[in-house]
Amino acid sequence: TGSGPLFEGVPVPNYIDISRANSFAAHGAQTLFRLIRDELEDNPHKPCAVALSGGGTPVPIYKLFDKMASGAHIDWTRVVIFLVDDRYVPSDDKDSNQKLVRDALKNTIGPTDTDDDVDDV
């Protein structure tokens, strides 16, 4: 760890063993769920913005999160999910990260009013 004025106030990171794929997905899904739930509870009159990445790595997290959160009492109309990356392809293309995330979270969020193609925005 560093020291000096550059590191003042910087929290020391926690080590989390996610060496197994299932512990990686479980930790990610639980963390995502907790952060969304807490944000909605702490700010009852504001939406919660969630930025997600595409690609294959986070898919197990999203699928487990979908199972975990689908029965939760969360007002999903207050959750705004957007991608931090996507390919310039139609949203139903097999290479679309938008499709990947929508398919992985189908039980939790379902279709949203922001499911526009890049060309439509």
Q: Are 105 and 75 in contact (CB under 8 A)?
A: no
Q: Are 105 and 74 in contact (CB under 8 A)?
A: no
d(CA 102, CA 96): 10
In a domain, 31, yes or no: yes
In a domain, 1, yes or no: no
In a domain, 10, yes or no: no
In a domain, 12, yes or no: no
In a domain, 63, yes or no: yes
In a domain, 95, yes or no: yes
pLDDT digits (tens, 9 = 90+) for 65-112: 999 988 888 898 999 988 888 788 898 899 898 899 989 998 887 555
d(CA 76, CA 55): 23
In a domain, 83, yes or no: yes
**Residue 19 corresponds to which amino acid?**
S
90: CATH: 3.40.50.1360
pLDDT digits (tens, 9 = 90+) for 15-54: 778 777 788 899 999 999 999 999 999 999 999 999 999 9
In a domain, 39, yes or no: yes
d(CA 87, CA 77): 26
The beta-carbon contacts of 16-24 under 8 Å, at least 24 apart in sequence, are: 21/60, 24/60, 24/61
Domain count, the chain: 1
Instruction: Estimate the share of the chain in helix, then strand, then coil, as percent rounded to the nearest 5.
Output: 40, 10, 50
Note down the domain range covering 37.
18-120
